[in-house]
Every structure is written in structure tokens, then in C-alpha cells.
Chain A
Amino acid sequence: MRELGPNEILFILAAVRWTLLLSITAFLGGAMGGVPVALARTSEFRWMRLTATGYIKIFQGTPLLMQLFLAFFVPGLFGWSVDPWMAAVLGLSLHASAFLGEIWRGAIESVPRGQWEAAASLGLHYSPKMALVVAPQAMRIAIPPTIGFLVQLVKGTSLASIIGFVELTRAAQVINNATFKPFTIFALVALVYFLICWPMSAYSKRMERKLLIASR
């Protein structure tokens, strides 16, 4: 049995970088997928809206843990073997793309109808209308809930430990198995997550309140 010394604590804290890297990568992947999902969800074509809604519902209706398991096993069906890192990035990115798509749909729809009509009457086609008129206004509304989702995503990366990716939670388990100081170790880990997530939640809450006042 090992003692819980500075080296062990440092091992846990150093694993934060994997949690952060996974969160950022999954967020970027999710953002790349989220834009087309949001656009399809607000499209004028019914089949696109339905497809996007189905995609979103599948991710909202199944546990993130199951999504990660499937991200780990499905590539194997095609003969690609993925390591835990790639499976975690794939699973969390797809998960994020559905949730961000739904958040951004709300933001796009909250842009007043008159703005759309004004853009159309200026002769703007779909892409310039979205890029120059709708997106800049939607973005302002989308920031607080997007950051709120980022908190969910950071917390979600802890589940990557279950498919064997060594991030903060997994590192804590490894050290706990060697030192058996579960209370201290998991309290420390909770504190680290809290320090990452709390500023973002607080910021998102404050911004939301500000927007609410501004829209009155």
C-alpha cells in the first residue's frame, strides 16, 4: 500500500489537462456538428427538420454513458480499432453536436421575424442572410446557454473514465486503488471540477439575467 503523498496528489492534478483537453476537443467537434444540426432544425424543408429532430431526440433520450460505449464499440464493426481517447472524443462530440444544435436552434428562432423579412427584402439569399443578419444576433443570445452546456460537457468527460480513458476521475481511481484514501481523493477531485465549472456556471447565469433584463 502506498501513502498518499505529494507525488500522488500531483499525479491526480496533472490529469486535469486530459479533462480540459477532452472538453475542448469535444466542444470543438460538437460545435462543428452543432451548426449543421441547428441549421437543419430551422430549415424550411420538413424532411431536414424531422431528421435533425430525430438526431437530437436520440441523444437526449439515451444516457451519455451508453453513447460512449457505442462510440467505443461501433467503429470496431468496420474494422477500425479506436483507443479510449478517440472513442471519448467521438462520443462526446456527437453528444455535444445534438445538444448545441438544439441550443442554437432556440437562439436562431429568437431572432425577430422582422429581421428575416428585412434581410429577404434586401435581396439577401440564404447564406448571406444567415451569416450577416441572423447569426450575429443569435450569437448574443446563444452565449449563456452554450457556456451552461460547456459545464455539462466538462462534467460529462468524467464518464470517459469508465471506457478507460485516464482523465481526472480515472487518475483519482488509480491513486485510490493504491493508497485507499477515498474520501480525501474524491473530495479533492470534486473540488477541482468545481473550480473549473463554477466560474462558467456563474458567468452563464449572470449573462442570462442580463439578457432577460435587456429584452424587457
Chain B
Amino acid sequence: MRWWTRSARLTKRVSRVSYEFDFAAVFAAWPELLQGMLNSLVLSALAMVIGMVVAVGGALGKTSGPRPLRLMIDGYIELIRNTPFLVQIFLIYFGLPALGIRLSSNMAALLALVVNVGAYGIEIVRAGIESIQKGQIEAGKSLGMRPLQIFRYIILKPAIQAIYPSLTSQFILLMLNSSVCSAIAASELTAVAGDIQSRTFRSFEVYFVVTCMYLAMSVLFWTVFAATERVFLRKATR
């Protein structure tokens, strides 16, 4: 750093004792922020959908697969759950090219999120599968229900009821976690914040606004998920 920029920064720091907020510079960049928010949502939704495929496959493998497969799935779960997401994303984005697999930062971010949420999803889905008791299916048969009815009312609905809350909170965790993807410059909300900050130097204002945007997304999803649970997955009153 040259001496004059340093002294300029020093003056700035001293004058900051009475800080003047400037949110206008941040709000001027609203199209970028909105695009970043949209990208974060798309990235999270894609990762969740693909991650659920991994989770269902993994859960089936874990409950009814051969022993070596079960051990491998266990290893995958433990490895992902006990290492930071940031290291996982670095390993995928910087490490894989060394093995000849080169991914764009957005693809690497998506892959890292899928790998991560898949591990947590397996345990959730497995709990759902195990929550269905054999006696319930037999009871359905003895009531004369057709196989499709049994699947719909006795297997699918209770299983979804059982895993819906953990699955939705997992999605919100995933959406918040996607902010870490800015570390490899994937085009999502936190990376947009970094861009605006380096252009306007209004660090506090930018990160405050973006934090509020994340909070708004979380609140929206909490509300929507709770409402859908109340309306569609209401448990029979006992």
C-alpha cells in the first residue's frame, strides 16, 4: 500500500467515529442484488432436488443394500458431516482439476451443495422409511385396501409427514450455506455483495442489506413451509 492511500485511509478511519450511513449506493445496485438473490434461490433449489435423489438412493442403499455398500454410504455421510463445507467446496473446485475434472465455479458450487445436502438427506429419508411399521400395511390389507391405496395412505403420506419438517429446515440450512459458494466466486447473492462492496466501499451497508435479504428469504420459507404443513399434511386428530 502506498503511503498516500494509507494516510487517506487513516483520515477516513478517524472521521468514521461519527459514521455517515450511505445506503443509496447500495440500493442503486438493486438489479444486481435481486439477480443475486434469484441465483441463490435457483442454486439452492437445484441442489435440493438433485440432493434428494442422492438422499433417496443412499437411504435405500443403507436400509436394504449389501454390506460393503452400506459401509461406503456410512463413510460418505460421516466424511461430509465432519468436515467444513468451505473445505469441501475448495476440494471440488481447486482439487478436482488436479485429477483432470475441471468445473466452472457455478457447477462446482452446485456439485458441492449436492454432495453436502445428500449426506444429511440420507439420514432424514432413512428415518422416514423406518417410521413405517409393517403392521400398518397389514392392517390396510385386511381392510381391503388396494395396493395403490396402501402406498398412498399408509406408506407415502405418513413418510412425508415424518420427514417434512427436517427436510424443509434442511433446505433453509442449504440456502444459508450457499453463501459460502462466494468463496469460489459462484454468482450468488454473497458474491454480488462482495462486488458492490469493492466498488462502493460501503461495506457495512452492503452486508447489512444482504443479511436482511437472507433473513427475508428464511422468514418467507419458514412461513410457507409451516403453512403447507398445516394445510396438506395435517395429522389425523386422535
Q: Which residues of A contact B (CB under 8 A)?
A: 57-58, 60-67, 69-70, 73-74, 76-79, 81, 151, 155-159, 161-162, 169, 172-173, 176, 181-183, 186-187, 189-190, 193-194, 197-198, 201
Contacts and interface: CB of A to CB of B under 8 A. Distances in A.
A187 B79 contact: no
A74 B95 contact: no
Contacts of A65: 179-180, 182, 190
Contacts of A60: 218
Contacts of A63: 176-177, 179-180, 190, 211, 214
Interface in B10-41: 13, 16-17, 19
Q: Would you list the 6 A-B pairs with minimal beta carbon distance, nearest first?
A: A61-B218, A182-B94, A158-B84, A63-B179, A79-B17, A197-B82
Contact of A159 (B88, B90, B180): B180
A62 B215 contact: yes
Contacts of A74: 204
B87 interface: yes
Interface string B21-65: 000000000000000000000000000000000000000000000
B207 A70 contact: yes
B214 A183 contact: no
Nearest to A189: B87
B236 interface: no
A81 to B, nearest CB: 7
A181 B86 CA distance: 17
Nearest to A76: B16
B94 A176 contact: yes
Contact of A194 (B83, B91, B182): B83
B214 A61 contact: yes
B214 A182 contact: no
Contact of A198 (B78, B94, B215): B78
Interface string B209-226: 011001100110010000
Contact of B85 (A155, A182, A194): A155
Given A81-B13, A155-B85, A193-B83, A187 B95 contact: yes
A77 to B, nearest CB: 5
A111 to B, nearest CB: 24
A58 B215 CA distance: 7
Which of A65, A73, A189 has the most chain B CB atoms inside 10 A of its CB? Answer: A65
B204 A77 contact: yes
Interface of B: 13, 16-17, 19, 78-79, 81-88, 90-91, 94-99, 172, 176-177, 179-180, 182-183, 190, 203-204, 207-208, 210-211, 214-215, 218-219, 222
B211 A66 contact: yes
Contact of A161 (B82, B86, B97): B86
A169 B87 contact: yes
B13 A183 contact: no
A63 B183 CA distance: 13
Contacts of B179: 63, 65-66
B74 to A, nearest CB: 12
Nearest to B99: A183
Contacts of B99: 183
Contacts of A66: 179, 190, 207, 210-211, 214
Instruction: Give the residue among A66, A151, A159, A198 with the most B Cβ atoms within 10 A.
Output: A66
Nearest to A193: B83
Contacts of B208: 70
Contacts of A197: 81-83
B206 to A, nearest CB: 9
A77 B19 contact: yes
A15 to B, nearest CB: 13
A183 B81 contact: no
Most chain A CB within a 10 A radius of its CB, from B87, B190, B207, B211: B87
B204 A76 contact: yes
A198 B190 contact: no
14 contacts: A62-B211, A66-B214, A76-B203, A77-B16, A78-B19, A79-B19, A151-B81, A159-B180, A161-B86, A169-B84, A182-B94, A183-B98, A193-B83, A197-B81
Nearest to B211: A66
